[in-house]
Chain A
Amino acid sequence: MCNYNRHGPSRRATGILARVPRGEPLFAFESVSVGPPEARRLHRLDARLPAGGLTVVAGPSGSGKSTLLRLCNRLEVPSQGTVRHRGEDVAGRDPLGLRREVAMVFQRPVTFAGTVLDNLREADRGCDEARGAELLERAGLAPAFLVRDASELSGGEAQRACLARALATDPHVMLMDEPTSALDAKATAVLERLARQLVADGTPVVWVSHSEEQMRRLADCVLLLADGRLDRDGSAQEVLGDG
């Protein structure tokens, strides 16, 4: 099993994470089922995501990886069971506040009409150019991108702009749903490096992937799903072996 506090808070130690009881998982899924009985996407899933570090949620297509991720920010709700975020039932949370705290980057980059700065302002209405430049820097983009039309960015640039936009809500957790599946090797490497940087800065990352190589490169912990159930979990080495 992964050590739930191996990657404890650093940069945000004075913020909300400082109040988190040690050992409290980032997310806990207690007997969670999703979907109607005849078409369950998750079946009475019991699983925990560690409080820090980068956790990769893996499994074949249709195993429930994205569903699990979407439960974390309430884009999806369980038909049965409870999802807890740092010990608190997310069903009792204001969904809008929860989503600003638990940000998400999607599989395909979805940019909105307008410039990159306009996109950042969709997340943070008061975002000025200085703040925009800082967000872009955290996402590995130069400040010159602020005035670029978001629809004209390459796939990798658009995904990093989406990461910057997700960071604009000052989240405490970053969910990333196969964010490199539409990117080339170079753009993938950049995004992986940025995710590791987020973790180093104290923001836990939950990353959905189906690539074993990527899991070995990235994961502090792996949660392996199969047919909507937990198959195995632990460190990448424990789950995947020496390969």
Chain B
Amino acid sequence: MDSAGDIGFVGLAASLVLVVVAFAISLRLRLRLERDLVVSVARGLVQLLIVGAALAIVIDPDTPLVWSWLWVAGIVVFAAATVKRRAPAVPGLFWIGLVANGVTAIVGFAVAFGLGIFPVRGTTLVPVAGMLIGNSMKSAIVVAQRLVEALSEQRAEVEARLALGQPWVAASRPILRGVMRTALSPQIENTKALGIVFLPGAMTGLILAGVDPLDAVLVQLALMYLILGGAATTTAVTALGVVRRLFESDHRLVALPRSTRDTG
């Protein structure tokens, strides 16, 4: 194969030159990041080699498609666990993340495979799910973390609204809007800057693997639109789920970290 797809282990080792540079900078400037650098490089290598070996089996045309679907389910569960870990103040966030990522996967797959954009194969199911859920997970994490911070910082405004007899949905709406904008903006900016500022991963990978650039662009565009829609879906489901969990059934805001309320 005359493409960049075959770099081999020698090529991989050569790519570590820049890591060595980073190591040297850390050492010279006493950043104390040497250990983290080594661990991250080694961990990434081992993880991806295992994933690569497993993927080779899962997406093999002779392997039943059910294994690809199980892999997708694993991605959804792992993404939910990651969201939970990054915003521990929200009770029941794992289940919110599971529903949000699950809904995103269902909607995204319905479009990607139901409308025939991609054929249903292991080689498409797993990568599409990875990109869709991976990006949605980032938005979900931002939403969950920012909502806790914003409701804590702006507790006085929320309680002023609750004291007027507003239900929790109305009392949290201005904050919810701001946080959802914050969570979705990077994805929208990424879509705007496509091809100008950066060449996104899938397209770069396909071109490096020898695919015609125009075909690579079409695949990338379809993926970006799916990712944008997926991020919006995940953001909305996570935001509503998180806000619901942060209010009691009698329309009181729960105690939150970094609360600024007066208790004199």
- Give A residues with C-beta under 8 Å from B: 41, 61-63, 65-67, 73-77, 95-97, 99-100, 103-104, 106-108, 110, 112-113, 122-123, 162, 165-166, 168-169, 177-178, 208, 210
CA distance A104 to B163 in the complex (A): 6
Q: Residue of A at shortest CB range from B155?
A: A110
Q: Restricting to B154-178, which residues have a CB under 8 Å from any CB of A?
A: 156-157, 159-167, 174
Chain B residues in 8 Å Cβ range of A122:
161, 164, 166
Q: Evaluate contact between B165 and A41: CB separation under 8 angstroms.
A: no
* Docked-complex contact B251 and A108, CB < 8 angstroms: no
| Cβ 8 A contact of A95, one of B156, B157, B164, B251 | B251
**Measured between C-beta atoms, what is the minimum distance from A202 to chain B in Å?**
21
Across the interface, do B164 and A162 meet the contact criterion of CB distance under 8 Å? Answer: no
Given A123-B164, A123-B165, 11 more A-B residue pairs with CB atoms under 8 Å apart are A41-B263, A66-B262, A96-B251, A99-B162, A103-B163, A104-B163, A112-B157, A169-B164, A177-B262, A178-B262, A208-B264
Q: Is the CB of B252 within 8 A of A100?
A: no
Bound form: Cα–Cα A165–B161 in Å: 10
Bound CA span A169–B162, Å: 12
Select one of A67, A73, A97, A210 contacting B263, CB under 8 A: A67
User: Which residues of chain A have C-beta atoms less than 8 A from B167's C-beta?
Assistant: 96
**A113 touching B174, Cβ below 8 Å:** yes
Q: How many of B's residues come within 8 Å of A, CB to CB?
A: 18
Task: Please give me the residue from chain B that is nearest to A94 by CB atom.
Answer: B250
Selected from A41, A73, A97, A112, the residue in CB contact (under 8 A) with B163 is: A73
B residues near A113, Cβ cutoff 8 Å: 174
Chain B residues with Cβ under 8 A from A63's Cβ?
A: 264
Q: A66-B263, A74-B252 are in contact. Are A100 and B157 (CB under 8 A)?
A: no
State A112–B162 Cα separation when bound (angstroms): 13
Contacts of A162 in B (CB 8 A): 160
Whether A99 contacts B156 by the Cβ 8 Å rule is: no
B 221-264 binary contact with A (CB < 8 Å = 1; else 0): 00000000000000000000000000000111000000000111
Q: CB-nearest residue of chain B relative to A63? A: B264
List residues of chain A with CB within 8 A of the CB of B160: 106, 110, 112, 162
B-chain residues with CB within 8 Å of residue A108 when the two chains form the complex: 156
Give the most central of B157, B167, B250: most A CB within 10 Å.
B250
The answer for the CA separation of A67 and B261 in the assembled complex, in Å, is 11
Closest to A35 in B: B263
Q: With A103-B163, A104-B163, A166-B164 given, is the CB distance from A77 to B252 under 8 Å?
A: yes
- B174 neighbours in A (Cβ, 8 Å): 112-113
Which one of B163, B164, B252, B262 contacts A107 once the chains associate, using CB atoms below 8 Å? B262
* Least distance between B24 CB and chain A CB atoms (Å): 51
Inter-chain CA distance A63–B264, complex, in Å, is 6
Question: Known contacts A77-B250, A96-B167: does B156 contact A110 (CB below 8 Å)?
Answer: yes
Instruction: State A207–B91 Cα separation when bound (angstroms).
Output: 35
Beta-carbon contact of B263 and A75 below 8 Å: no
For A166, the chain B residues whose CB sits under 8 A away are 163-164
B85 to chain A, nearest CB (A): 26
Residue in B156, B157, B161, B165 whose beta carbon sits within 8 Å of that of A97 in the complex: B165
| Distance in Å: Cβ of A221 to nearest Cβ of chain B | 20
In the assembled complex, 15 residue pairs joining A and B whose CB atoms fall closer than 8 Å, in A order, are A41-B263, A61-B264, A74-B250, A77-B250, A77-B252, A97-B165, A99-B163, A99-B164, A104-B163, A113-B174, A123-B164, A166-B163, A169-B165, A178-B262, A208-B264
**What are the residues of chain B within 8 A of A110 when measuring CB–CB?**
156-157, 160
**A178-B264 contact given A110-B156, A112-B157, CB 8 Å threshold:** yes
Inter-chain CA distance A76–B259, complex, in Å, is: 15
Bitwise, B63-91 to A at CB < 8 A (1) or not (0) is 00000000000000000000000000000
